[in-house]
Amino acid sequence: MIFFRQLDVFLLLLALPIFIAADQPILGWAATTIAWLGQKVLQAVLERKAAQEDDARRFFGFMAGSLIGRSWLLALTIFAVGIVDRDAGLAAAVLALAVFTCYLVISLIMRAPQNPSERTS
């Protein structure tokens, strides 16, 4: 189970030799990897804080802030890399899209109800 929850990180590690073999800018890989790992840490911290909240508004505030903040962190990183080196920015964006897609699919699979009776309620 842990492997599947961290499949996005494994994909980042797998991407490094692909970037090297395809002669893609390592700056794009490094920026996406650092931003992605940073946003995962931010997600864990904010989800932990949200879980401790008794007030529903503060809970949803933490969760919404986490979603928005993490998205902006990744987007601004890609934008900054693109300003420095256009090719690296494109490589970073493509890698971020692949990693996000992997993360989203795994998240949906892991949160799906296991019991068929849970799906109808």
Q: What parts of the chain have a pLDDT lower than 70?
A: 1, 112-121
| Domain of residue 90, residue span | 30-108
Instruction: Calculate the dihedral angle through the C-alpha atoms of 79, 81, 82, 85, rounding to the nearest 10 degrees.
Output: 170
Q: What is this structure's pTM?
A: 0.82
Residue 79 lies in a domain: yes
Q: What six digits make up the tokens of 98?
A: 């692949």
pLDDT of residue 59: 85
Residue 36 lies in a domain: yes
Strand (E) or helix (H) holding 70:
helix 56-84
pLDDT of residue 49: 85
pLDDT of residue 56: 84
Residue 60 lies in a domain: yes
pLDDT of residue 94: 96
pLDDT of residue 113: 67
Residue 7 lies in a domain: no
Mean pLDDT of all residues in the chain?
88
10 vs 4, 37, 79, CA distance in Å?
9, 11, 24
Distance CA 62, CA 81 (A): 28
pLDDT of residue 102: 92
Residue 91 lies in a domain: yes
